[in-house]
Amino acid sequence: MAGNDLTAPLGMGKRKFFRMPFGLIGMGIMTVIATTGLVWIGVVDDPLGGEPTAVVPLERTVEGLSSRDIAVVEINPDIAGDSKPDAAKERKVTLGPRFEEAPVGSEPNMASRRELSTLPDDRVTDRADHGLIPKVSVDGIRPLDIYAKQIAAEPASAPRIAIIIGGIGLSEAGSRNALQNLPADVTFALAPYGDRLDRWMREARMAGHEILLQLPLEPFDFPDNDPGPHTLLISLRGPEFLDRLYWLLSRVTNYVGVINAQGARFTSTEPSMQYLLEEITRRGLMYVDDGSSSRTVAPAVASGTQTPFSRVDVVLDAVPKADEINARLLQLESLARSRGLAVASGTALPVTIKALEEWSRDLEQRGLMLVPISATIDRP
């Protein structure tokens, strides 16, 4: 037995170790992996390694849109400054000057249902003794321009119908019924004597409804038939007339124009109508004749004063019965198909709202288009 056999640990004297350079081997393996990855990224066409993708073929035209109707809009930060990753940015597509902006993936007509502004724009707001009233901005922008609702992208040949429902704000139940059950493109006319008009204006515009303000004008049987305080009379001129008018205009904000409430005598008196429409034009509003009087001179006067103008062709609920309202709706459709455009008015009666709700359900399938009142301005 050798001397070192006695001092070596048990069994170690009989084994020989071969020391492997494990550090060098590991570095070599890592180098091979890194080199393979670089070659893969540089040569293979899909560096994402098969991550799901979608390919959408783009045509030169889409439903009548040319390439110049489509523009790329940068990704904008959320207006509210939300710090959440999924709410920080929103991608939008601009559909040219004819259509509104709509979120990517939405149908064009979804734009017509977006919320409208509910706060008065300082550029088109003036302060009078009774409150805020509309005005034209120093740049020539009108309240009509600011508060009008853009119409949805539809074929230009589709007959258009505008419907105005008046008396909003006078009855809580009637106003709520109209707001909950009528399409967004129905225009609401707010009565100046209504309760909580600001609330109704906000709710209506948030739901997509354009707004008019009703102006009480003198009827032939005044004062036996009195439309209410601050009624505009043919005997008034100057400061007294303007004081009454400004009181009415200050009842609410964010409306595109005014519509007469009664006023057969006033609307048949040319000097009075000219005096009123000159001021309406100066305030940047449109005027709508409610179609209740055959003696109205509003169309001719509006042409002379260059007032943005429209008029009602059919009064739906002069006789507030379901069969009569349905007959008037058929008359309205016929006028729209023959002229290309027709306007109707009604009140927020339960029978009227129900008839309109049922009538409007398949309007598009019947080839008709519902539009806000501002889309009917200056028709032939």
Dump pLDDT digits (tens) for 308-317.
Answer: 999 999 999 9
Residue 81 lies in a domain: yes
Map residue 366 onto helix, strand or coil.
Answer: coil
- Answer yes or no: do 141 and 80 share one domain: no
Contact assessment for residue 168 and residue 175, using Cβ atoms and an 8 Å cutoff: yes
In this structure, the number of other CB atoms found within 10 A of the CB of residue 280 comes to 23
Q: Which domain holds residue 257?
A: 122-376
Residue 178 lies in a domain: yes
Residue 89 lies in a domain: yes
Residue 51 has pLDDT above 90, yes or no: no
Residue 183 lies in a domain: yes
* Counted domains in the chain: 2
Dump pLDDT digits (tens) for 351-374.
Answer: 999 999 999 999 999 999 999 999
pLDDT classification of 141: cutoffs 50, 70, 90: very high
Distance in angstroms (rounded) separating the CA atoms of residues 174 and 347: 9
- Answer yes or no: do 151 and 294 share one domain: yes
Q: Measured at the alpha carbon of residue 152, what is the angle toward residues 146 and 157, in degrees to the nearest 5? A: 120
Residue 325 lies in a domain: yes
Find, among 220, 227, 173, the residue nearest to 200 by Cα: 173
- Answer yes or no: do 236 and 310 share one domain: yes
State residue 29's pLDDT score. 75
Distance in angstroms (rounded) separating the CA atoms of residues 219 and 266: 7
Lowest mean pLDDT across 38-47, 81-90, 209-218, 365-374: 81-90
Map residue 271 onto helix, strand or coil.
Answer: helix
In sequence order, the 6+-apart residues with CB closer than 8 A to the CB of 127 are: 133
Is pLDDT larger for residue 148 or for residue 69? 148
Lowest mean pLDDT across 153-157, 166-170, 229-233, 337-341: 153-157
Lowest mean pLDDT across 55-59, 333-337, 346-350: 55-59
State residue 305's pLDDT score. 96
Task: Indicate the residue among 76, 106, 136 that finishes a domain.
Answer: 106
Distance in angstroms (rounded) separating the CA atoms of residues 43 and 46: 9
State residue 182's pLDDT score. 98
pLDDT classification of 75: cutoffs 50, 70, 90: very low
State residue 72's pLDDT score. 35
- Answer yes or no: do 132 and 246 share one domain: yes
Distance in angstroms (rounded) separating the CA atoms of residues 142 and 148: 10
Which residue's structure tokens are 């009604």? Answer: 346
Which residue's structure tokens are 């539009």? Answer: 371
Map residue 19 onto helix, strand or coil.
Answer: coil
Dump pLDDT digits (tens) for 259-276.
Answer: 999 999 999 999 999 999
- Answer yes or no: do 226 and 95 share one domain: no
- Answer yes or no: do 102 and 236 share one domain: no
- Answer yes or no: do 72 and 153 share one domain: no
- Answer yes or no: do 216 and 84 share one domain: no
Residue 43 main-chain phi, psi, to 5 deg: -110, -45
- Answer yes or no: do 134 and 99 share one domain: no
Averaged pLDDT of the chain: 81
- Answer yes or no: do 253 and 282 share one domain: yes
State residue 17's pLDDT score. 45
Sign of CA dihedral 236, 239, 241, 243: negative
- Answer yes or no: do 270 and 370 share one domain: yes
